[in-house]
Amino acid sequence: MSSSKSSNVIDGKAVAAAVIKECLTEVDALRRHNVVPGLAVVLVGEDPASKVYVGAKARTCLELGIYSRKIELPAETTQEELIGVVHDLNRDPAIHGILVQSPPPKHIDEEAVIRAIDPRKDVDGFHPENVAKLALEDPTGFVPCTPAGCLRLLKAAGISTTGADAVVIGRSMIVGKPMAFLLMAKGTDATVTIAHSRSTDLPGICRRADILIAAVGRPEMVKADWVKDGAVVIDVGINRVDDPSTKKGYRLVGDVAYDEVAPKCRAITPVPGGVGPMTIALLMKNTLQAARQQTRVV
């Protein structure tokens, strides 16, 4: 990583730690009302990256005093069996949040699984009811964790979004579209462009951005000449690239060519250590919101 890592780098680990500290206070408040927040994570199959994520979520729950249930199902689990597990969790009063780890095996229709989750327990924020609440700026809905984390990083870095020209590269329901809704919302008030790999003159669109959010899933796609001087860059990408010089044989990089882009930026997130830690922290926030709303504890 380049020497520009001092003043302009947004430290996702530090901001995530502050969110976790807030969560500890919220857990204490719930426990004073005899409410133990509960999160169930369902993992189908043996995907190694998914196992790492699920383990990290369980450890964070333990640290916070959130009841955590990990349900590991074999890769050959049918869609009907998986939806049956989800329905059981919907009915379980000890579980306030349900997350089915993505991606499931190819024979599972992920959209059908998301729709099977009780929207009141959909702490990923992917159920159509929560997508609608995000669009309508209804605070009772759940905001997807990664875009919520990006917005929190901007605020923590003191970046004003009001009137800013924001460009989001990527149009997924996981990051791109919810990110645009958050940036356009009252109180955030950015002017938003959603771009993607098929956009005409993508580099030119990016060069207009005061705030550039890269969530396209292509290693180091965003180059220095895509970014204007003084821009703020939030890199959501996390990609493995081969690197024989490392012990693991690979290294993690974002969607942004960090070393060449960072010197041009007013602020930038690194990979790893930027957006990644925020995702789990905001999942914990959503779980506590779900527990409060279901038990009517303010």
Q: Which of 101, 177, 289, 294 is catalytic?
A: 101
| Catalytic status, residue 294 | no
| Residues facing residue 23 across a β-bridge | none
Tokens 């957006």 belong to 275
Burial class from Cβ neighbours inside 10 Å (0-12, 13-18, 19+) for residue 13 reads: middle
Are 161 and 183 in contact by the 8 Å Cβ rule? The answer is: yes
The question of whether 57 is a catalytic residue gets the answer yes
Choose, from 57, 177, 264, 285, the residue flagged as catalytic. 57
Mark whether 289 is an active-site residue.
Answer: no
Measured between alpha carbons, how far is 168 from 196 in angstroms, rounded to an integer? 8
Question: What's the start-to-end Cα distance of the chain, in Å?
Answer: 44
Residues 6+ apart with CB under 8 A from 262: 2, 4, 5, 8, 9, 268
121, 122, 124, 294: which is the annotated catalytic residue? Answer: 124
Which residues form the catalytic set?
57, 101, 124
